[in-house]
Structure 1
Amino acid sequence: MALLAKDIEELIRESFPTAQITVSGDDGVHFAAQVIDESFRGQNRVQQQRAVMKALKGKMDGPNGELHALALTTKAPE
Protein backbone atom coordinates (compact mmCIF):
# COMPACT_ATOMS: atom_id res chain seq x y z
CA MET A 1 0.00 0.00 0.00
CA ALA A 2 1.44 3.36 -1.01
CA LEU A 3 1.77 6.00 1.64
CA LEU A 4 0.31 9.47 1.32
CA ALA A 5 1.92 12.67 2.58
CA LYS A 6 -0.80 12.92 5.24
CA ASP A 7 0.06 9.41 6.49
CA ILE A 8 3.67 10.41 7.02
CA GLU A 9 2.64 13.63 8.74
CA GLU A 10 0.35 11.68 11.09
CA LEU A 11 3.16 9.28 12.04
CA ILE A 12 5.53 12.16 12.77
CA ARG A 13 2.83 14.10 14.63
CA GLU A 14 2.38 11.21 17.10
CA SER A 15 5.94 11.79 18.35
CA PHE A 16 6.05 15.55 17.79
CA PRO A 17 2.53 16.84 18.57
CA THR A 18 3.43 20.54 18.60
CA ALA A 19 5.86 20.53 15.67
CA GLN A 20 5.48 22.47 12.47
CA ILE A 21 5.40 19.65 9.91
CA THR A 22 5.29 19.92 6.14
CA VAL A 23 5.32 16.79 3.97
CA SER A 24 5.27 16.84 0.19
CA GLY A 25 5.44 14.17 -2.49
CA ASP A 26 2.87 12.58 -4.72
CA ASP A 27 4.24 9.31 -6.06
CA GLY A 28 3.61 7.22 -2.94
CA VAL A 29 7.25 6.37 -2.21
CA HIS A 30 9.37 9.55 -2.50
CA PHE A 31 8.70 12.40 -0.09
CA ALA A 32 10.22 15.50 1.45
CA ALA A 33 9.48 16.55 5.01
CA GLN A 34 10.36 19.53 7.15
CA VAL A 35 9.96 19.15 10.91
CA ILE A 36 10.49 22.13 13.19
CA ASP A 37 10.21 21.32 16.88
CA GLU A 38 11.46 22.77 20.15
CA SER A 39 12.65 19.32 21.27
CA PHE A 40 15.43 19.58 18.68
CA ARG A 41 17.08 22.50 20.47
CA GLY A 42 20.59 21.49 21.52
CA GLN A 43 20.59 18.37 19.34
CA ASN A 44 22.77 17.97 16.30
CA ARG A 45 21.22 17.23 12.90
CA VAL A 46 21.85 13.47 13.14
CA GLN A 47 20.09 13.27 16.52
CA GLN A 48 17.14 15.24 15.17
CA GLN A 49 16.78 13.10 12.08
CA ARG A 50 17.10 9.85 14.02
CA ALA A 51 14.22 10.97 16.23
CA VAL A 52 12.04 11.59 13.19
CA MET A 53 13.04 8.28 11.60
CA LYS A 54 12.07 6.50 14.82
CA ALA A 55 8.67 8.19 14.60
CA LEU A 56 8.15 6.56 11.18
CA LYS A 57 7.90 3.18 12.94
CA GLY A 58 9.82 1.09 10.44
CA LYS A 59 8.14 2.43 7.30
CA MET A 60 11.62 2.95 5.75
CA ASP A 61 13.20 -0.29 6.97
CA GLY A 62 14.96 -2.32 4.34
CA PRO A 63 14.01 -3.03 0.76
CA ASN A 64 10.43 -3.92 1.71
CA GLY A 65 9.73 -0.63 3.49
CA GLU A 66 6.65 1.26 2.34
CA LEU A 67 8.58 4.52 2.14
CA HIS A 68 11.49 4.45 -0.31
CA ALA A 69 12.94 7.94 0.08
CA LEU A 70 12.46 10.87 2.43
CA ALA A 71 14.38 14.11 2.06
CA LEU A 72 14.31 15.31 5.66
CA THR A 73 14.95 18.77 7.05
CA THR A 74 14.84 19.21 10.83
CA LYS A 75 15.52 22.16 13.11
CA ALA A 76 14.50 23.94 16.28
CA PRO A 77 12.32 27.03 15.92
CA GLU A 78 14.15 30.32 15.53
Structure 2
Amino acid sequence: MPMNAHDIEKMIRDAIPDATVTIRDLAGDGDHYAAEVVAESFRGKSRVQQHQMVYQALQGNMGGILHALALQTSAPK
Protein backbone atom coordinates (compact mmCIF):
# COMPACT_ATOMS: atom_id res chain seq x y z
CA MET A 1 0.00 0.00 0.00
CA PRO A 2 1.52 3.36 -1.02
CA MET A 3 2.02 6.26 1.38
CA ASN A 4 -0.25 9.25 1.11
CA ALA A 5 0.99 12.82 0.87
CA HIS A 6 -0.28 13.74 4.35
CA ASP A 7 1.75 10.94 5.97
CA ILE A 8 4.92 11.97 4.11
CA GLU A 9 4.46 15.60 5.16
CA LYS A 10 3.80 14.64 8.78
CA MET A 11 6.89 12.43 9.02
CA ILE A 12 9.10 15.22 7.65
CA ARG A 13 7.57 17.88 9.92
CA ASP A 14 7.84 15.62 12.98
CA ALA A 15 11.58 15.13 12.35
CA ILE A 16 12.31 18.67 11.12
CA PRO A 17 9.89 20.88 13.08
CA ASP A 18 11.00 24.15 11.47
CA ALA A 19 10.34 22.82 7.96
CA THR A 20 7.86 24.14 5.45
CA VAL A 21 6.85 21.10 3.42
CA THR A 22 5.02 20.98 0.09
CA ILE A 23 4.12 17.56 -1.35
CA ARG A 24 2.81 16.96 -4.88
CA ASP A 25 1.56 13.66 -6.29
CA LEU A 26 3.28 13.60 -9.67
CA ALA A 27 1.39 10.77 -11.33
CA GLY A 28 -1.87 10.62 -9.39
CA ASP A 29 -1.05 7.07 -8.35
CA GLY A 30 0.13 7.64 -4.76
CA ASP A 31 3.55 6.23 -5.65
CA HIS A 32 5.40 9.16 -7.25
CA TYR A 33 5.76 12.35 -5.26
CA ALA A 34 7.72 15.57 -5.33
CA ALA A 35 8.61 17.26 -2.05
CA GLU A 36 9.93 20.74 -1.46
CA VAL A 37 11.33 21.14 2.04
CA VAL A 38 12.56 24.51 3.29
CA ALA A 39 14.07 24.63 6.77
CA GLU A 40 16.37 26.90 8.73
CA SER A 41 18.01 23.76 10.11
CA PHE A 42 19.37 23.12 6.58
CA ARG A 43 21.45 26.32 6.68
CA GLY A 44 25.16 25.56 6.35
CA LYS A 45 24.54 21.96 5.33
CA SER A 46 25.35 20.53 1.91
CA ARG A 47 22.52 19.43 -0.36
CA VAL A 48 23.46 15.80 0.37
CA GLN A 49 23.21 16.41 4.13
CA GLN A 50 19.83 18.11 3.67
CA HIS A 51 18.51 15.15 1.67
CA GLN A 52 19.87 12.73 4.26
CA MET A 53 17.90 14.56 6.95
CA VAL A 54 14.70 14.16 4.93
CA TYR A 55 15.39 10.48 4.17
CA GLN A 56 16.02 9.84 7.87
CA ALA A 57 12.68 11.50 8.61
CA LEU A 58 11.00 8.98 6.31
CA GLN A 59 12.19 6.18 8.61
CA GLY A 60 13.29 3.70 5.97
CA ASN A 61 10.12 3.96 3.87
CA MET A 62 11.99 5.42 0.87
CA GLY A 63 12.32 2.73 -1.77
CA GLY A 64 9.75 0.59 0.03
CA ILE A 65 6.17 1.78 0.39
CA LEU A 66 7.34 5.18 -0.83
CA HIS A 67 8.39 4.31 -4.36
CA ALA A 68 9.70 7.63 -5.72
CA LEU A 69 10.30 11.05 -4.23
CA ALA A 70 11.74 13.95 -6.23
CA LEU A 71 13.31 16.01 -3.47
CA GLN A 72 14.15 19.71 -3.43
CA THR A 73 15.60 21.17 -0.23
CA SER A 74 16.86 24.58 0.84
CA ALA A 75 17.26 26.98 3.74
CA PRO A 76 14.91 30.00 3.77
CA LYS A 77 16.08 33.00 1.77
Tell me the TM-score normalized by structure 2: 0.92
Which residue does 1:4 correspond to in 2?
Answer: 4
Equivalent residues of 2:9, 2:22 under 8 A apart: yes
Query: What are the superposed Cα offsets for residues 24-65 of structure 1, whole Å, 9 maximum, x if unpaired?
Result: 10311110000000000000100000000000001114xxx0
Runs of 4+ aligned structure 1 residues displaced above 3 Å come to none
Q: What is the CA–CA distance in structure 1 between the aligned matches of 2:37 and 2:59, rounded to whole Å?
A: 16
| RMSD of equivalent CA atoms | 0.9
Residues 23-62 of structure 1 correspond to what in structure 2 (within 5 A)? 23-25=23-25, 26-61=28-63
Tell me, yes or no, if structure 1 residue 68 matches structure 2 residue 67: yes
Partner of residue 22, structure 1? 22
Q: Secondary structure at the match of 2:70?
A: strand
What's the % identity of the aligned pairs? 53
Structure 1 alignment gaps of length 5 or more: none
Q: Is the 8 A contact 2:24 2:33 kept in 1?
A: yes
* Partner SS state of residue 54, structure 2: helix
Aligned length: 75
1:15 & 1:30 partners in 2: Cα distance? 21
Q: Distance in 1 between matches of 2:19 and 2:56?
A: 15
